[in-house]
């Protein structure tokens, strides 16, 4: 009897081993696919142990005492907190945003403006026309973030990366843009160092900023979820933050604005510096305003942006080009040449009154 039991036990063990060997690996053992849902990879309810959790019904005194093995010991203090390594980029990570790379190399960066369109086909045509990034206009246009997100996700790997001018320095505005996939953030009418810091805070994840890790289509594998090193780990090194100086207050604070860590470039607003100063381009007072912005960027070691018409102006290396409607008009005129606008003018009817 004892011999039979031993044989049965050996057979059972061998059978179990064979079953384990034939069982495919579970999803938990595989690398999860990138997803926009920040909770998608959480453990199944009831399947996780919490050995460091506070005892049920007791005060753990965690505010004053750290668990064994914690890096941050002693009383909790945000001012002295040592940020962890969980979201560090992998060693040797390289820049994957071509706009950031080009700016770092000192090249001239161009942004084509999508001003009025919400049509993904129009956006993608602009994004493949030769610009470095697309300046999706959200300050002076009435489109919503859903429309912007649809355009960006239609052709995320077009030649031009998705960028946006938000309406104002605001957590909701900037995080909507980034979570939808923007890689270039342009912030208008920055008047002070405090406002530049606020723009920086909502653009960057900790420890540099305060961006919330809330998900969005930027995290999807179809956009940036599959970038080398991971989106969350590398986006701080790849995002481009451009702050616009447009007012007299902004000019006064230009040096301090440009020095804010995380600001990639400073934009000398050609239209609104005239609007707020009361002088037109070419006049001494106007040119002084532009030169104040130039000097601030130069001293801070930041890139200097302006309209495409200034591409030969000294030290300017990033530019906003015209809108999609202007590009269509220019393209048709170039294509037709002398055949453009050669229709005969009737003597009567609605076309007779056209100029």
Q: What is the mean pLDDT of residues 26-43?
A: 63
The pLDDT score that the predictor gives to residue 12 is: 45
Residue 126 Cα distances to 73, 141, 241, 334, angstroms:
53, 17, 21, 17
Q: pLDDT grade, residue 1 (50/70/90)?
A: very low
- Give the model confidence (pLDDT) of 294-344 as tens digits: 999 999 999 999 999 999 999 999 999 999 999 999 999 998 899 888 888
Q: Answer whether 133's CB lies under 8 Å from 100's CB.
A: no
pLDDT over 70 (residue 28): no
Question: SS3 string of 242-311?
Answer: EEEECCHHHHHCHHHHHCCCCCCEEEECHHHHHHHHCCCCCCHHHHHHHHHHHHHHHHHCCEEEEEHHHC
Q: What's the distance, Cα to Cα, between the start and end of the chain in Å?
A: 110
Give the H/E segment covering residue 353: none
Which of 333, 308, 332 shows the shortest CA–CA distance to 318?
A: 308
Q: Which of the given ranges, 6-10, 39-43, 238-242, has the highest pLDDT on average?
A: 238-242
Comparing CA positions, the residue from 96, 147, 137 lying closest to residue 320 is 137
Whether residue 11 has pLDDT greater than 70: no
Structure tokens given for 185: 């953030």
Confidence of residue 17 (pLDDT cuts 50, 70, 90): very low
Q: pTM higher than 0.95, yes or no?
A: no
Give the integer Cα–Cα distance in Å for 302 and 300. 5
Place of tokens 């956006």: 123
The pLDDT, as a whole number, for residue 23 is 41
């Amino acid at each position: 009897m004892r011999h039979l039991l031993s044989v049965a036990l050996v057979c059972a063990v061998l059978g179990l081993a064979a079953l384990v060997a034939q069982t495919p690996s579970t999803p938990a053992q595989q690398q999860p696919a990138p997803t926009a849902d920040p909770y998608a990879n959480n453990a199944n309810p009831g399947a996780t142990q919490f050995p460091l959790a506070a005892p049920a019904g007791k005060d753990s005194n965690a505010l004053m005492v750290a668990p064994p093995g914690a890096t941050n010991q002693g009383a909790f203090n945000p001012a002295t907190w040592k940020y962890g390594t969980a979201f560090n980029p992998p060693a040797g990570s390289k820049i994957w945003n071509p706009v950031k790379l080009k700016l770092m190399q000192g090249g001239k960066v161009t942004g084509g403006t999508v001003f009025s369109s919400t049509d993904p086909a129009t956006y993608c045509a602009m994004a493949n026309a030769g610009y470095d990034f697309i300046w999706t206009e959200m300050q002076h246009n009435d489109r919503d973030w859903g429309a912007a997100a649809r355009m960006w996700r239609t052709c995320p790997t077009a030649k031009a990366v998705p960028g946006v001018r938000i309406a104002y320095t605001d957590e909701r505005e900037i995080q909507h843009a980034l979570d939808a996939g923007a890689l270039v953030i342009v912030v208008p009418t920055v008047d002070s160092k405090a406002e530049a810091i606020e723009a920086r805070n909502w653009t960057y994840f900790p420890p540099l900023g305060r961006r919330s890790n809330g998900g969005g289509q930027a995290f999807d594998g179809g956009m940036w979820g599959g970038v080398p090193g991971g989106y969350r780990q590398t986006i701080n090194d790849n995002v481009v933050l451009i702050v616009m100086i447009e007012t007299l207050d902004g000019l006064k604070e230009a040096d301090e604005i440009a020095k804010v860590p995380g600001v990639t470039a400073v934009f000398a607003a050609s239209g609104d510096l005239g609007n707020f100063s009361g002088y037109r381009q070419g006049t001494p007072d106007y040119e002084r305003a532009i030169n104040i912005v130039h000097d601030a960027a130069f001293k801070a070691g930041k890139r200097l942006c302006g309209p495409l018409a200034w591409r030969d102006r000294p030290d300017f290396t990033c530019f906003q080009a015209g809108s999609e409607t202007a590009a269509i008009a220019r393209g048709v005129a170039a294509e037709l040449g002398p055949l453009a606008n050669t229709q005969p003018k009737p003597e009567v009817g609605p076309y007779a009154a056209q100029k």
